[in-house]
Amino acid sequence: MRKGLFITFEGSEGCGKSTQVELLARRLRSLGHRVRTLREPGGTPIGEEIRHTLKHSHQNHAMTAEAELLLMNASRAQLVREVIRPALDAGEIVLSDRFYDSTTAYQGYGRELDLQMIKTVIDVAVGETRPDLTLFLTVSPEISEMRRAMRQSTLPFMRDRIEEADKKFFERVIKGYEAIAASEKRRVRVLDGSGSTENVCTKIWEVVEPALPKVGRW
Ligand code: TMP
């Protein structure tokens, strides 16, 4: 049984997703909705350990693309069963900062792993638990690179293995997102993330509001 609403946020580094997840959650809560915010990889104690291994561990330099794919989806399998399904069954609105489109974009297009294999792994991780709506925030590759470089320089003790990839990798990731958006137009809404925070927030609300369950009205 599923009564809630599942919305995912996607985009390249520095597109402003995390800020927008928090702003949307605040607005929804102020209207009386029960809201759960999550991030991937992570979102559970096991998932946060996997996140550390994937991104910040000093032992992760030799990680292969296949190990990366499986760790992302191990974190996801745990998150789906431990948090997302129970929350949706309880009628909550779940907002996730990234979900399986990130795997298609980063491991599929970025690392150039076989897309059919990626799909099979994702199927194992999520089963029937699929987003109702996905907001893909776009920013130019230049803005994305600038924000990524800024983040790397302000967090010198928190190296991020994935953000260390080269420019070509991130160009392929963006191509991947564009391909996903083109193939799933009903679920994936593309929004320009380069305006002011308020402006992007307004555009997101215009897409989300019609999809909301009604609260407190009968
Ligand atoms: P972020 O939380 O700062 O966006 O960092 C998550 C990183 O993990 C980001 O570089 C994108 C990457 N990622 C993948 O490569 N595949 C995935 O399936 C997910 C969820 C994230």
Q: Write down the domain spans for the chain.
A: 5-214
Mean pLDDT, the chain cut into blocks of 10 residues (218 residues total): 90 93 98 97 98 96 97 98 98 98 98 98 98 95 81 74 92 96 97 94 97 68
pTM for the model: 0.95
pLDDT at 218: 38
Cβ–ligand 1 contact at 98 (below 6 Å): yes
Q: Which amino acid residue places its CA nearest to atom 7 of ligand 1? A: 162
Cβ–ligand 1 contact at 102 (below 6 Å): yes
Residue 23 CA to residue 19 CA, distance in Å, equals 6
Q: Are 191 and 135 in contact (CB under 8 A)?
A: yes
Q: Which of 101, 147, 162, 173 to mutate to test the pocket of ligand 1 (most atoms within 8 A of CB)?
A: 162
Concatenating the DSSP letter of every residue in 79-146 gives HIIIIIHHHHHTT-EEEEES-HHHIIIIIIIIS---HHHHHHHHHHHHTT---SEEEEEE--HHHHHH
CA of 126 to the centre of ligand 1 (A): 17
Cβ–ligand 1 contact at 78 (below 6 Å): no
Q: Which fold has domain 5-214?
A: Rossmann fold (3.40.50)
Cis peptide before 41 (omega within 30 of 0): yes
